[in-house]
């Protein structure tokens, strides 16, 4: 599933693109059976697209590209279009607000269906129509640079809806993440050769950005081999001191689990698993860590303690004690993070950091995870930090408002205690 490289358009070219699009749409619409709905309708559109000349398909891609160019201009993080919910509009998320871009005009459901199906390969179309969902990567040229997007295409009341998130090509310098020196050592292959490191948070919390920064720091500081398994591949790391391989799920490998197992035969030092989505992938990640590798991955959880509980709960009850013991032995660090609206109308990173020392390890093995939060709050010298402590730091530094500090806290009572406390 290759990235599509589309040249950026001038205003005149954009106008020509619109005219071409309207002509092509009328051509397809005149041949489309009106009684077809859902998957059958999408199959018919895909078949009609196959019959177009390549220049017409390029014109359709170029028209979609005008939306992405506008997205870049207004510094939007996400674009949404298609499906019943879009009301015929293209929507942008700019910082925290998602609103329709009325200047881009209105489109019919089939126009959006045509635009989105046209950018897919045959294999991607088949996957979408079978699974009703497709993750893919996409790229356009903007001012001489390739801008990459992570796409998710899905059905919304029998029509196709698309979200595309702009991938920040900038890799943040590791030092900007503000980790304690002891935590930084745990994240570095130079200092610790094995162990499981997890970066967690909800969708859009910057997990990939943090992981890319950590991978980049290793790439620049140690001679090693890094295998990245992602769905899709977002940031592409150029090999520096490390040999860096990228394997996209559905493109280069069939699943996270298969990619992780196959990586063991590829002489890796670091394996990055984009997401631990199920019990099998979680078990595989722990197994390959046991073999002496450094493994990085992500989970959709809101705190360090929730992450531990979630991993154990994903496994059958009869296996949970064994999983707790294994997790306690391989887990090194959990970074749980959120992106909080800042006073300058942007977003700032707030994070919780758990380092697995002997006390935390014992709490995991004994199923006393309820004690871990207090351990984290009292272990600042080891680099640990609760989310509430970091939110208080951001508030004290006048980076975020009092309301946002409270809104984003996991433990509201503890957050209030910290805000009331004056050292």
CATH code of the domain containing 132: 3.30.450.90
Bridge partners, 395 (sequence order): none
What range defines the domain where residue 106 resides?
A: 5-166
**According to the model, what pLDDT value does residue 235 have?**
85
C-beta of residue 355 within 8 angstroms of C-beta of residue 382: yes
Q: pLDDT-based confidence at 145, cuts 50/70/90?
A: confident
pLDDT tens digits, 121-132: 998 999 999 999
CATH number for position 342: 3.40.50.300
Q: Is it the case that residue 231 has pLDDT exceeding 90?
A: no
254, 353: one domain: yes
Looking at 145, 166, 187, which one is the last position of a domain? Answer: 166
pLDDT tens digits, 340-388: 999 998 899 999 999 999 999 999 999 999 999 999 999 999 999 999 9
Percent of the chain with pLDDT over 70: 95
Looking at 166, 184, 215, which one is the last position of a domain? Answer: 166
Q: pLDDT-based confidence at 61, cuts 50/70/90?
A: very high
Looking at 166, 185, 214, which one is the last position of a domain? Answer: 166
Q: Is it the case that residue 230 has pLDDT exceeding 60?
A: yes
Nearest of 259, 258, 244, 255 to residue 211 by alpha carbon:
244
243, 346: one domain: yes
Average pLDDT over residues 303-318: 93
**According to the model, what pLDDT value does residue 112 have?**
96
Q: pLDDT-based confidence at 14, cuts 50/70/90?
A: very low
Average pLDDT over residues 1-26: 56
281, 184: one domain: yes
144, 226: one domain: no
Q: pLDDT-based confidence at 168, cuts 50/70/90?
A: confident
239, 280: one domain: yes
Q: Is it the case that residue 1 has pLDDT exceeding 50?
A: no
How many domains does the structure of the chain reveal? Answer: 2
82, 144: one domain: yes
Average pLDDT over residues 296-316: 94
Q: pLDDT-based confidence at 96, cuts 50/70/90?
A: confident
271, 391: one domain: yes
Distance CA 209, CA 274 (A): 12
208, 318: one domain: yes
Q: Is it the case that residue 262 has pLDDT exceeding 70?
A: yes
Cα angle for residues 382, 388, 389 (degrees, 5° grid)? 45
Distance CA 280, CA 277 (A): 8
3-state secondary structure (DSSP) of residue 8? coil
Q: pLDDT-based confidence at 17, cuts 50/70/90?
A: low
Distance CA 227, CA 235 (A): 13
208, 73: one domain: no
**According to the model, what pLDDT value does residue 422 have?**
53
Q: Is it the case that residue 4 has pLDDT exceeding 70?
A: no
Range with lowest mean pLDDT among 43-47, 239-243, 388-392, 417-421? 417-421
Q: Considering the chain, what is the average pLDDT of its residues? A: 91
178, 148: one domain: no
Average pLDDT over residues 107-112: 95
Q: State the DSSP code for 170.
A: P
Average pLDDT over residues 75-100: 94
**Measuring CA to CA, how many Å separate 118 from each of 30, 61, 148?**
17, 7, 18
228, 130: one domain: no
More confident: 396 or 141? 396
Average pLDDT over residues 164-193: 92
Range with lowest mean pLDDT among 21-25, 333-337, 418-422? 418-422
**According to the model, what pLDDT value does residue 3 have?**
41
Contacts of residue 172, defined as CB under 8 A and 6 or more positions apart, other chains included, come to: 209, 212, 213
**According to the model, what pLDDT value does residue 289 have?**
93
Q: pLDDT-based confidence at 13, cuts 50/70/90?
A: very low
**According to the model, what pLDDT value does residue 343 have?**
94
Average pLDDT over residues 63-84: 94
**According to the model, what pLDDT value does residue 5 have?**
39
Is the pTM higher than 0.85? The answer reads: no
280, 398: one domain: yes
């Amino acid at each position: 599933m290759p990235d599509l490289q589309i040249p950026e358009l001038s205003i005149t070219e954009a106008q020509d693109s619109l005219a071409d699009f309207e002509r092509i749409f009328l051509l397809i619409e005149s041949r489309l059976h009106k009684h077809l709905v859902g998957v059958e309708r999408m199959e018919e559109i895909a078949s009609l697209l196959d019959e177009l000349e390549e220049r017409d398909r390029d014109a359709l891609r170029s028209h979609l590209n005008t939306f992405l160019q506008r997205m870049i201009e207004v510094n939007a993080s996400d674009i949404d279009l298609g499906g019943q919910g879009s009301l015929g509009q293209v929507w942008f998320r700019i910082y925290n607000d998602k609103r329709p871009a009325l200047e881009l005009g209105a489109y019919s459901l089939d126009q959006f269906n045509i635009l989105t199906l046209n950018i897919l390969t045959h294999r991607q179309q088949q996957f979408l129509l079978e699974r009703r969902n497709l993750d893919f990567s996409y790229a356009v040229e903007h001012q001489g640079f390739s801008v990459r997007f992570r796409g998710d295409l899905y059905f919304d009341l029998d029509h196709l809806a698309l979200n595309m998130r702009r991938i920040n090509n900038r890799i943040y310098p590791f030092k900007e993440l503000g980790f304690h020196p002891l935590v930084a050592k745990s994240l570095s292959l130079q200092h610790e050769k094995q162990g499981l490191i997890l970066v967690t948070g909800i969708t859009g919390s910057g997990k990939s950005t943090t992981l890319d920064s950590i991978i980049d720091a290793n790439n620049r500081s140690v001679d090693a081999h890094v295998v990245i398994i992602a769905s899709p591949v977002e940031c592409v790391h150029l090999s520096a001191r490390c040999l860096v391989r990228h394997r996209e799920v559905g493109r280069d490998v069939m699943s996270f689990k298969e990619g992780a197992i196959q990586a063991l035969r590829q002489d890796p030092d670091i394996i990055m698993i984009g997401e631990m989505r199920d019990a099998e992938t979680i078990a595989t990640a722990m197994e390959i860590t046991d073999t002496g590798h450094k493994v990085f991955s992500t989970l959709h959880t809101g705190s360090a303690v929730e992450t531990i509980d979630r991993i154990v709960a994903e496994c059958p009850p009869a296996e949970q004690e064994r999983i707790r013991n294994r997790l306690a032995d391989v887990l090194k660090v959990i970074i749980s993070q959120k992106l909080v609206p800042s006073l300058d109308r942007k977003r700032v990173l707030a994070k919780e950091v758990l380092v697995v020392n002997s006390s935390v390890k014992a709490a995991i093995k004994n199923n006393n995870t309820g004690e871990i939060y207090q351990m984290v709050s009292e272990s600042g010298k080891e680099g640990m930090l609760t989310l509430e402590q970091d939110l208080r730091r951001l508030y004290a530094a006048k980076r975020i408002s009092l309301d946002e500090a409270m809104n984003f806290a996991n433990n509201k009572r503890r957050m209030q205690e910290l805000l009331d406390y004056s050292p």
